[in-house]
Amino acid sequence: MLTDIASIAELKRVEDIPLNLALGIVFNTETKKVLIAKLRDYSAWSFPGGKIEYGKDLGSELKKKIKEKTGLNIENLGAIFAETRSERNGVLSIYYLCEFINGKEKLCEQFEELKWVSPDEIEEHFDMELHPHLREYLVSIK
């Protein structure tokens, strides 16, 4: 499910403080594939990233989170899409296009698997449809 982007346990919302999720669409320009991660506790696929503390720079914090959670170094190329979902009480999810630079894959305790897939295969792994604008963007990066 696309809303399972970050561990549900991580999503404890503090009253009156917005919760922001930064999610990396990590693209390997050589293989033309995107990295997805399977959440250990939910057996759901997501883009790597996570909760960013209010007031922190989302883009630079995402770069750190991806390194911590996957072992990969990326270049953050900028935000490409944002959405809120009512079932998440106004959680703001911001998707960033990230270019894979280097590094060796490693699993953090939150993920049970990392997988590189072509952009048009991503939706086959998620339990929920991607937003049409996000889907259109993903298909265009091939």
Q: How confident is the model at residue 5 (pLDDT cuts 50, 70, 90)?
A: very low
Sign of torsion over alpha carbons 47, 40, 8, 104: negative
- Please give the pLDDT value at position 19: 79
Cβ pair 21, 82 in contact under 8 A: no
Radius of gyration of the chain (CA): 14
The yes-or-no verdict on residue 87 having pLDDT over 90 is: no
- Please give the pLDDT value at position 73: 97
- Please give the pLDDT value at position 69: 95
What's the pTM? 0.83
The yes-or-no verdict on residue 6 having pLDDT over 50 is: no
Q: Of 13, 14, 35, give the one whose Cα is nearest residue 24.
A: 35
User: Model confidence over 17-68: pLDDT tens digits?
Assistant: 667 899 999 999 999 999 999 998 888 899 999 998 888 898 899 999 999 9
Burial class (CB in 10 A: 0-12, 13-18, 19+), 121: middle
User: Model confidence over 57-72: pLDDT tens digits?
Assistant: 988 999 999 999 999 9
- Portion of the chain with pLDDT greater than 90, in percent: 54
Burial 24-51 (b: 16+ CB within 10 A, else e): bbbbeeeeebbbbbbbeebebbbbbbbb
